[in-house]
A and B are shown apart, each in its own frame.
Chain A
Amino acid sequence: MTKLFKFFVVFLRIGAFTFGGGLAMLPLIEREIVDNNGWMTREEFIDVIAVTQCMPGVIAVNTAIYLGYQLFGIWGTIFGALGAILPSFIIMVLAAEFFIAFRDNSIVQAVFMGVRPAIAVLIFSAAVRLGKAVDRTAHNILIALGSLISISLLGIHPIPVIVVAALIGIVKARGYEKNENAD
């Protein structure tokens, strides 16, 4: 088995067995890349994660592209990304087929009626969890409220909201630096 194909299979496995996505995938990726295949040292891997986490998109795909590029060049990015995507793709095609076939069934409808309020609560719990992870400073509360109001009340597109928030973060950090220099 060539190394590139092995790399593809590693991300295929990661894509197939991680539920919830995002950070849940990291320990699995680390085990495969660092422990099982020795493609990177643990320190190198931690640096990669620090970088891929601050990019937009899916962490597993970003990590696959980053590692693939470092290890095998352009083909590595393509095989890594395809591996990470393919399991979700196949499963969702089947799920969509199921959804289309059974959506008019009265029992399936009843099940989804019950699941919808649960989804609202699960999403709310994610917001609460993130809220706990961020310091309760005036700056953070204002940005969170600002983004909520922009989207919910004003109907603004989330892209400008994210861009403005990012700029505020950069300006704010510059301000800190200036204060420190002044002291």
Chain B
Amino acid sequence: MKMLIELFYTFSKIGAFNFGGGYAILPFIEKEIVINNGWLSRYDFIDLVALSQITPGPISINSATFIGYRLAGLVSATVGTLGLVFPAFFIVILVAKAIKKYRSCDWMECAFLGIRPAVIGLITASTLSIGRTAIIDIKSVLMAGFTAVLVFKTRLNPILIIISAGVLGGLIYSL
């Protein structure tokens, strides 16, 4: 029970401050789930990102469900996912009311003058920590180079990029 409350609280915290969407959530998950609570290993964390990229739905929901499920099955998966979206109910409804009254969200737009560049730093920080865990030998350097060519030269869909890397990795690492 204590674990469920902690899980709900942890994902509520993440849900309330996850500005910038998508990958911007990764440093939060790394800090709260991997480092502070030890609910996921560094490798499982990266594998989770891979899984949520090749399945439909936003990374944050995918992560909450996956991490919850890994902890104690369906109940904790539900608790984690509900925890993540819980703050949105209050924030969205309150803001909806405030906007009807004042007809603007100017101060939020001002805040984004700071949040937007900060999110770039957040995502770069995740690139560094995930890179440090994932790129460790000659083979992984080659894999990163192969993906970089696909990502920056071909504009291939990320799902196809992950599948190609999986196939090539399967061949290289099985040999």
A65 to B93, CA, bound (A): 8
- Among A50, A95, A107, A109, the residue within 8 A (CB) of B51 is A95
- Interface size of B in residues (CB-CB distance below 8 Å): 102
Counting chain B CB atoms within 10 Å of each CB, the highest count among A118, A124, A165, A173 belongs to A118
Proximity bits, A53-73, B CB within 8 Å = 1, else 0: 011111111100110011000
- Specify the chain B residue showing the minimal Cβ separation from A122: B158
- Specify the chain B residue showing the minimal Cβ separation from A70: B96
Q: Is A46 an interface position by the 8 A CB rule?
A: no
- Interface size of A in residues (CB-CB distance below 8 Å): 92
Q: Is A148 an interface position by the 8 A CB rule?
A: yes
Q: Is A131 an interface position by the 8 A CB rule?
A: yes
A22 to B51, CA, bound (A): 17
B129 to chain A, nearest CB (A): 7
Q: Are B65 and A21 in contact (CB under 8 A)?
A: no
Q: Are B116 and A134 in contact (CB under 8 A)?
A: yes
A61: chain B residues within 8 A (beta carbon): 58, 61, 85, 88
Question: Could you tell me which residues of chain B, from 38 to 66, have a CB within 8 Å of some CB in chain A?
Answer: 43, 46-47, 49-62, 65-66
Q: Are B174 and A172 in contact (CB under 8 A)?
A: no
A91: chain B residues within 8 A (beta carbon): 55-57, 62
Q: Is A34 an interface position by the 8 A CB rule?
A: no
- Specify the chain B residue showing the minimal Cβ separation from A78: B89
- Among B18, B31, B43, B172, the residue within 8 A (CB) of A110 is B172
Question: Could you tell me which residues of chain A, from 81 to 134, have a CB within 8 Å of some CB in chain B?
Answer: 81, 85, 87-89, 91-93, 95-97, 99-100, 106-107, 109-127, 130-131, 134
Q: Are A118 and B91 in contact (CB under 8 A)?
A: no
A100: chain B residues within 8 A (beta carbon): 70
Q: Are A92 and B105 in contact (CB under 8 A)?
A: no
Question: Could you tell me which residues of chain B, from 1 to 45, have a CB within 8 Å of some CB in chain A?
Answer: 13, 15-19, 21-23, 26-28, 31, 43
A168 to B116, CA, bound (A): 11
Question: Could you tell me which residues of chain B, from 130 to 162, have a CB within 8 Å of some CB in chain A?
Answer: 130-131, 133-135, 139-141, 143-144, 146-148, 151-152, 158-159, 161-162
Counting chain A CB atoms within 10 Å of each CB, the highest count among B52, B114, B168 belongs to B114
Given A56-B15, A57-B85, also A15-B56 (CB < 8 A)? yes
- Among A17, A57, A107, A118, the residue within 8 A (CB) of B144 is A118
A111 to B54, CA, bound (A): 14
Q: Are B130 and A96 in contact (CB under 8 A)?
A: no
Given A18-B56, A92-B57, also A161-B111 (CB < 8 A)? no
Q: Are B50 and A121 in contact (CB under 8 A)?
A: no
Given A95-B51, A126-B22, also A152-B96 (CB < 8 A)? no
Pairs across A and B, CB under 8 Å, 6 listed: A69-B93, A85-B85, A89-B77, A124-B127, A124-B131, A159-B13
**Besides A81-B88, A116-B133, A130-B116, 16 other CB < 8 A contacts?**
A19-B55, A57-B16, A58-B60, A110-B171, A114-B172, A115-B50, A117-B141, A122-B147, A125-B152, A130-B123, A134-B120, A144-B118, A145-B121, A148-B124, A159-B28, A173-B113
